[in-house]
Homo-oligomer: A and B are copies of this chain.
Amino acid sequence: MNKPTKSGLLGSLLLLASVGMAQGNAPQPDSVSGALPRQVILIIGDGMDEQQITIARNYLKGAAGQLLLDQMPLRSAVQILTTEERSGGKPVYVADSANTATSMATGAITSIGRISTSAGTDRDFTTIVELAAAAGLRTGIVTTASVTDATPAAFAAHVNFRLCEDPDSMVNVSYNDIILGDCSGDLKANGGKGSIAEQLAASALDVILGGGSAHFTPTAEGETVSVADVARRHGFQVITNAAGLAAAAPDQRLLGLFAPSTLPVRLQGEGGRTAEAPRPSWLNRIHPYLGSGTPPAPMLCEPNPDSGTVPTLQQMTEVALRQLSHENAQGFFLMVESASIDKQSHERKPCGSIGEVAQLEDALASALAFAKTNPQTLVLVTADHSQAAQLVPYESLFAAFPIPIFTPGKMARIITPEGGLMAVNYATNNFKQEEHTGAAVPLFGNSESLGRIPPFIQQPQIFAITRDYLGL
């Protein structure tokens, strides 16, 4: 929560330079020349690991089909780096969306829960949005989560704890009386920049689209008006529905908040079903070798009836591209997040995650269409971390053995459109929310990415690749 002093900024820039130089396979240096503006569209599928992608491929395109992702000319793998919450701490092998978004947005490695601040020392890292805006480029964030959620937040805000999303959630941030974190040091009264919503309202962002209206209704710290009103004072047009999105003035900054928090997802399990625990028989409860375990009945995925009430990720992406490219000779940086691949996986809802991969695919189609008519556009798609869902055999590989064999966790068995039977297992813990996992995640790039990204990178390099492409 450093104040933006010159020495702080210099320190950050020196750090950024060293991150770039530290790359094992540095992208080719770029000289930004020619008349065309350059832009980067960074699409993040939250929790979209190889299991999630395969599950979505099988459902959306069939086992022998191809996603749009599969047709991208570049594929790389991204190692996630996380550290303990102390300066010089040991590596941590499983991340959250806050520290991973910080890596992508700033090139730095930090600890779980932090939004573009340093582990232990709580120093602000300069973000790609801040660098781009300072250089005269436009910037935007689009998400199906609250715009104050960890992934979008890390591109334009700095707090030490991700849940400090609005002025009412700064001190002893709690959930049902359990204190989870505290951002007292980020209060304006204490020399900080305020909550994430307040920082977004005061940011240089040109486009902010997603959910999270509930975080913009509290009164801003030291003000008599809401955070949304502060955003209006900073020049944002504030819209709340699809009609407003379509009618947004293209030459004015845009804040669109289409739900109180996360936007409704596209798909759900039949009748709202999630993954469920197999039901052991009476005999099986006496001894695990006896009786039987009944797996959950097969189900279809169906449209979520609530999903029509908000703009799609594709609609938001297209409006963001319209706003950012409108009479703009300087280029832009846009981050687009399909957030609920992760959130639905935490809640053991495979149909929900599949639908959000479909949303990402649609947004990617719009990004690629934009890149086709605007050649100097780098389109990258990646995930921030891996997740809990596992595609497992519909019937155990060991079904020939005459004892009950079933998952100790929760399972959904989905009937795919091609008539197959696909089982998804969730068993990282016994809590109401699954854990993240630690596998490296994929990265996909359009033709502009060729020659700029080696087959294996570390997550902070995404910042350097973006920065170098934009000539910042």
Contact = CB atoms under 8 A, between A and B. Distances in A.
Contacts of A81: 63-64
A456 B65 CA distance: 11
A407 interface: yes
A114 B390 CA distance: 24
A90 B58 CA distance: 12
Contacts of A91: 58, 62-64, 418, 420
B431 A391 contact: no
Contact of A431 (B69, B112, B401, B439): B401
A433 interface: yes
A270 interface: no
A74 B442 CA distance: 14
Given A58-B93, A440-B50, A408 B420 contact: no
A442 B440 CA distance: 11
A405 B393 contact: no
Contacts of A50: 49-50, 77, 386, 439-440
A51 to B, nearest CB: 4
A409 B427 contact: yes
A396 B429 contact: yes
A428 B430 contact: no
Interface in A356-411: 386, 388, 390-394, 396-398, 400-409
A134 B149 CA distance: 61
Contact of A435 (B57, B112, B396, B442): B396
Interface string A65-86: 0100111111111010110000
Q: How many monomers of this chain does the complex have?
A: 2
Contacts of A403: 431
Interface string A435-469: 11111101010000000001110100000000000
Contact of A438 (B391, B405, B418): B391
B93 A428 contact: no
A342 to B, nearest CB: 12
A310 B248 CA distance: 71
A392 B437 contact: yes
A204 interface: no
A35 B94 CA distance: 51
Contact of A390 (B400, B404, B428): B428
Contact of A391 (B421, B437, B444): B437
A430 B456 contact: no
Contact of A76 (B75, B408, B421): B75
A144 B55 CA distance: 31
A471 interface: no
A53 B439 CA distance: 8
Contact of A71 (B58, B63, B90, B456): B456
B392 A405 contact: no
Contact of A442 (B77, B180, B421, B428): B77
Contacts of A456: 66, 69-71, 75
Contact of A79 (B54, B72, B428): B54
A222 interface: no
Nearest to A404: B430
Given A428-B392, A439-B391, A420 B455 contact: no
A300 interface: no
A422 interface: yes
13 contacts: A63-B81, A92-B394, A93-B422, A94-B393, A94-B423, A180-B400, A396-B435, A397-B433, A397-B435, A398-B429, A407-B429, A408-B408, A425-B427
Given A51-B438, A388-B390, A393-B435, 16 more contacts: A24-B66, A49-B50, A51-B439, A55-B438, A62-B91, A63-B81, A72-B455, A74-B455, A77-B442, A92-B394, A92-B420, A180-B400, A390-B428, A398-B429, A408-B430, A425-B427
